[in-house]
Amino acid sequence: MNKYTLSENYLTEITDPIAIETKHLNVFYGKKQATFDANLKFPKHKITALIGASGSGKSTFLRSLNRLNDEIATVTGEIKYQDIDINRKNINVYEVRRQIGMVFQHPNPFAKSIYENIAFALRQNGMTDNLDQRVEKSLKDAALWDEVKDKLTTSALSLSGGQQQRLCIARAIAVQPDILLMDEPTSALDPISSRKIETTMQELKKNYTIIIVTHNMQQAARASDLTAFFHLGHVIEYNRTKKLFTTPKMPATEDYISGHFG
Amino acid sequence: MKNSVNKKAEHANQIALLIIKAMVGVVVLILMALLGYILITGIPNVSWHFLTSPSKDFGAGGGIVNELFNSVYILIITLVISCPLALGAGIYLAEFAKPSFLTNTMRTTIEVLSSLPSIVIGLFGYLVLVIKFQFDFSIISGAFALMFVNIPLLTRNTEESLKAVSHSQREAGWALGLSKWRTILKIILPAAVPGLVTGIILSAGRIFGEAAALIFTAGQSTPVISYANWNPFSSTSFLNPMRPTETLAVHIWKLNTDGITPDATQISSGASAVLIIVILSIILLSRFLGNYLYKKMSGTK
Amino acid sequence: MNKMQQRLLHPSKATRQDRFGKTISLICIGFIMILTVSIIGFIAIHGLATFFENHVSVMQFIFSSNWNPGQLGKNGQPQVGAFAMIVASFAVTLLAAILATPFAIAVALYMTELAPKRGAKMLQPVIELLVGIPSVVYGFIGLVVIVPAIRSVFGGTGFGILAGSIVLFVMILPTITSLTIDSLQQVPDHYRKASLALGATKWQTIYKVILRAALPGILTAIVFGMARAFGEALAVQMVIGNAALTPTSLTSPTATLTSQLTSQMGDTIMGTLPNNALWSLALVLLIMSVIFNLLIKVVGKRGEMKK
């Protein structure tokens, strides 16, 4: 395996308005460090892809942004959202997660009906007015409405994997978060379902800031505006997607995207 | 040479497998003989009269109506007091406990409680509930003693049922901004219902047959009670939780230990048959309900 | 500070819910712990009174077989010797375990190795039913079937250790079986495949590979069964004969710790020596159940280290 200089990196300047930003973010699982000194700015209404080999720390980084790692890891550094460092102790993590929604690698709908999956999320967040319209809107936004409108009361678990994942997206956006984190949302799905979700993302970015972890380089190249390349827990390169894939600045990035990695 | 070794091994193999199968046969025969004996000798003694008349201490022809009611009543009270505690403890262990010395101590304590002989629990109940708290021999004392028997089982069952719910369900709740507690109440507990229900019903079967924890807490006799008196504070009411009570299982033991009832054997075999039938129904119910709930929840119809 | 920042910085309903939920569930488990500790404490205090208040020596309690706490012996000491009960308790426990273990292993092997699908489907209900039958019913059957049978074969009353062991054998059989099944199922499948691929017969595979790999688990299962046998009260009390005498044979009436407690506790008065002596028996039971528990932990740990 080639050795790369992990301490050097190339981070492009972001001039657009920033939705969320990390400063010197480190994540530790016990004594093992998974993410090193990550400094990334995520612009509003853009799709940012995090790429890298397995174990590169990209998922760990993503899960730290909405404090979902609290239980299992120690996260140090700053996560700046709404001009507040939300990685502090006295922060209301429930409100953080409410504003920063998440879609997971494996679809995880609740064992409830399709309708109830979304209505439940709405009710729990006090959004009980116009329930039917809200459910319909979020299903439409997730491009699932036409497929399920006639069977809203059937169990969500009877849907196909791709439909379940879009239901999870619908559930996440129903509560109107500000940022949407997606942790390899298509890795468990077939290519057609994956494509549908990519199309959905392009629609969603009009209203949301999306940060997506993917191990699929084509997906990153196709669907994202910016790309960050992670290697062994370090952010090696962060640039406009087009630039990163056509003129990578770092040798590690170049090797990774050309398939000569490791 | 090699062939003869193989042959010998093959021979040993067949004999060993045959012995195993024979022993399995013996176990099955033992169970069939047991159930057969209880049902065949017992059921002829079970009649409408038997099920609906009170027991007699010194004369023949007594029934088991009070014992049957007492067993059901004490079972219900036991479940009412033990389920919330076990549920809370199970939730703590499955959802909140982090690996630590304290958590280990909690688990060990529950293991110790579950390994305590039920007669020891009964004696503790006698010492503390009957004598110290002056509850006397009563349904309440008995139910508390049974609670101790029931809690370790139910706690473990709760913990296991909750842990069987995929972690991704928890993350789904947290990612929506729900508190951990809300996630547990609204997502994890409903998903764990099939396992919880099966566990509770199975524990009910065990409680229904338990006697050792009761003989020094609930007592070994039933006063004259009236099924028309619905005032639980009246001493003759069947609902009075402070009256002494003899359950069906205790009745069987008592009949065979004192030996003053002339038809003790007939009554015991009838009562055993009733006890077994109730417990078998409980086991079947738990299976059926567990499967039904599971199917209903997973959406595979 | 805008509204969003306010919400991020201040605790909300969810914060309170979590504090509430954690507290409530912690109270539940704390309550259970307090109760368990108080059981042990109360029984220990009462059980030790024989030695501290009535000044009976521990050695006499364990090794003398004169149980007559109401009267003084020749040496002017109260006759509180639990030797007979301790011996009888261990005897029924060991005998039952010796009887049950081969059958339990056979059933477990049949369900996991010989006929995993059909066998498990057929035998699982058998195990569940055996667990479900209450101990008084086992005692009753022992009384009306086993005791007369022993009487007609061996003479005497029929009551005694043999009858007790047979009843306990059936009672602990399902316990040992289901735990043995668990440990057999944990033996990795490639052990079986490797052994069979080397040309070993099924029995050789079972005997030399599977049972050896599962040994710690099987030992744990046996200890669990023994703990259950040791603590069982009513079924044993109904068939043991209830005479506090050192057993002279397997068919002579005797008493175990549990049976003595069951039959005598109602006849003694709180605070008197005969009553304290019974609490001492309960204390022995308690100590034994803790020892069984430790044993299970030790055996289980050893099994883990091997793997």
The pLDDT tens digits for A25-63 are 999 998 899 999 999 999 999 999 999 988 889 999 999
Q: How confident is the model at residue A2 (pLDDT cuts 50, 70, 90)?
A: low
Question: Do the chains contact at C10 and A92, CB–CB below 8 Å?
Answer: yes
Of C97, C117, C114, whose CA–CA distance to C179 is shortest?
C97
Domains in chain B: ranges and CATH: 46-298 (1.10.3720.10)
Q: Beta strands of chain C (E only): which ranges? A: 67-72, 78-80
CATH number for the segment(s) A10-109+177-258: 3.40.50.300
Q: Would you state the pLDDT for residue A58?
A: 92
If DSSP codes are grouped into helix, strand and coil, which group holds residue A32?
Answer: strand
Q: How confident is the model at residue A78 (pLDDT cuts 50, 70, 90)?
A: very high
Chains contacting B (3 or more CB pairs within 8 Å) = A, C
If DSSP codes are grouped into helix, strand and coil, which group holds residue B290?
Answer: helix
Cα dist from C291 to B270, C283, C286, whole Å: 39, 12, 9
Of A140, A162, C162, C120, whose CA–CA distance to A152 is shortest?
A140
**Residue B211's closest chain C neighbor by CA?**
C136
Partner-chain residue, chosen from B169, B176, B299, that has the shortest CB–CB distance to A175: B176
How many C-beta atoms surround the C-beta of residue B114 within 10 A?
Answer: 18
**How far is it, in rounded angstroms, from Cα C146 to Cα B28?**
18
Q: Is B175 on the interface with A (CB under 8 A)?
A: yes
**How far is it, in rounded angstroms, from Cα B293 to Cα A66?**
34
For residue B1, pLDDT beyond 50: no
Chain C residues close to B96, C-beta within 8 Å: 21-22, 25-26
Instruction: Give the residue-averaged pLDDT of B6-26.
Output: 91
Give domain limits for chain C.
1-53, 83-306
Domain C83-306 has CATH 3.40.50.300: no
Who's near C5: CB < 8 A, 6+ residues apart? A82, A83, A84
* B236-244, long-range: CB < 8 A, 24+ apart: B238/B69, B238/B73, B239/B73, B240/B139, B241/B77, B241/B138, B241/B139, B241/B140, B241/B143, B242/B135, B242/B136, B242/B138, B242/B139, B242/B140, B243/B138, B243/B139, B244/B136, B244/B137, B244/B138, B244/B218, B244/B219, B244/B220
Instruction: Give the residue-averaged pLDDT of B151-170.
Output: 95
**How far is it, in rounded angstroms, from Cα C85 to Cα C69?**
14
> pLDDT tens digits, chain C, 307 residues: what are they?
688 888 888 888 888 999 999 999 999 999 999 999 999 999 999 999 888 888 888 888 888 888 887 777 666 677 888 888 999 999 999 999 999 999 999 999 999 988 888 888 888 888 988 888 999 999 999 999 999 999 999 988 889 999 999 999 999 999 999 999 999 999 998 999 899 888 888 899 998 899 999 999 999 999 999 999 999 999 999 999 888 888 888 888 999 999 999 988 888 888 888 888 999 999 999 999 999 999 998 887 776 655 4
How many Cα neighbours within 13 Å face the side chain of B195? 20
Side chain identity at residue C301, one-letter code: K
Question: Do the chains contact at C39 and B110, CB–CB below 8 Å?
Answer: no
φ, ψ of residue A232 in degrees (nearest 5) = 50, 40
| Mean pLDDT score of chain B | 89
**How far is it, in rounded angstroms, from Cα C253 to Cα C239?**
9
Question: Do the chains contact at B31 and C135, CB–CB below 8 Å?
Answer: no
How many C-beta atoms surround the C-beta of residue B11 within 10 A?
Answer: 11
Q: Would you state the pLDDT for residue A4?
A: 80
Q: Would you state the pLDDT for residue A70?
A: 84
Give the dihedral of Cα atoms B104, B107, B108, B112; nearest 10 deg.
Answer: 170
Tokens of B167: 């972690």
Task: List beta partners, residue A181.
Answer: A102, A211
Buried b / exposed e across C175-206, counting CB within 10 Å, b at 16+?
A: bbbbbbbbbbeebeeeebeebeeeebbbbbbb
Question: Do the chains contact at A82 and C9, CB–CB below 8 Å?
Answer: no
Tokens of C272: 């008197």
Q: How confident is the model at residue B2 (pLDDT cuts 50, 70, 90)?
A: low
Question: Do the chains contact at C106 and B23, CB–CB below 8 Å?
Answer: yes
For residue A212, pLDDT beyond 80: yes
Per cent of chain B over pLDDT 70 is: 97
Place of tokens 């009384």: C143
For residue B221, pLDDT beyond 90: no
Query: Which candidate in B170, B176, B180, B297 is best for mutational testing of the A interface (most A CBs within 10 A)?
Result: B176
Question: Do the chains contact at B20 and C110, CB–CB below 8 Å?
Answer: yes
Please tell me chain C's helix, strand, coil percentages from 3-state DSSP, rounded to the nearest 5: 75, 5, 20
Buried b / exposed e across B56-81, counting CB within 10 Å, b at 16+?
A: eeeeeebbbbbbbbbbebbbebbbeb
Helix (H) or strand (E) holding A42: strand A32-43
Note which residues in 42-81 of chain B have CB less than 8 A from chain C.
none
**How far is it, in rounded angstroms, from Cα C142 to Cα C69?**
30
Question: Do the chains contact at B298 and A111, CB–CB below 8 Å?
Answer: yes
How many C-beta atoms surround the C-beta of residue A46 within 10 A?
Answer: 20
Q: Would you state the pLDDT for residue B138?
A: 92
Sign of the alpha-carbon torsion through C181, B106, A70, A166: positive
Question: B49 versus B151: which is more confidently predicted?
Answer: B151
Nearest CA-CA distance, residue B100 and chain A, Å: 14
Query: Which candidate in C31, C234, C239 is best for mutational testing of the B interface (most B CBs within 10 A)?
Result: C234
Question: Do the chains contact at C28 and B87, CB–CB below 8 Å?
Answer: yes
Who's near C305: CB < 8 A, 6+ residues apart? none
φ, ψ of residue C250 in degrees (nearest 5) = -70, -15
Crossing angle of the two packed helices B264-298 and B248-258, in degrees rounded to 10: 160
Chain B residues close to A165, C-beta within 8 Å: none
Q: Is A175 on the interface with B (CB under 8 A)?
A: yes
Question: Do the chains contact at C4 and A82, CB–CB below 8 Å?
Answer: yes
Who's near B123: CB < 8 A, 6+ residues apart? B216, C43, C261, C265, C279, C282
Give the dihedral of Cα atoms A252, A253, A255, A257; nearest 10 deg.
Answer: 160
Helix (H) or strand (E) holding A28: strand A18-29
ipTM of the complex: 0.91
Helix (H) or strand (E) holding A37: strand A32-43
**DSSP assignment of A162-216:** HHHHHHHHHHHHHT--SEEEEESTTTTS-HHHHHHHHHHHHHHTTT-EEEEE-S-
Angle subtended at Cα A17 by Cα A14 and Cα A21, rounded to the nearest 5 degrees: 70
Of C226, C249, C128, C223, whose CA–CA distance to C178 is shortest?
C128
Note which residues in 257-296 of chain B have CB less than 8 A from chain C.
257, 265, 268-269, 272, 275-276, 279-280, 282-283
- Report yes or no: C286 and C47 within 8 Å, Cβ to Cβ: yes
Q: Any idea what DSSP says for residue B1?
A: -
- Max Cα–Cα distance, chain A, nearest Å: 57
- Report yes or no: C258 and C231 within 8 Å, Cβ to Cβ: yes
Nearest CA-CA distance, residue B228 and chain C, Å: 31
For residue B81, pLDDT beyond 60: yes
**How far is it, in rounded angstroms, from Cα A210 to Cα A202?**
10
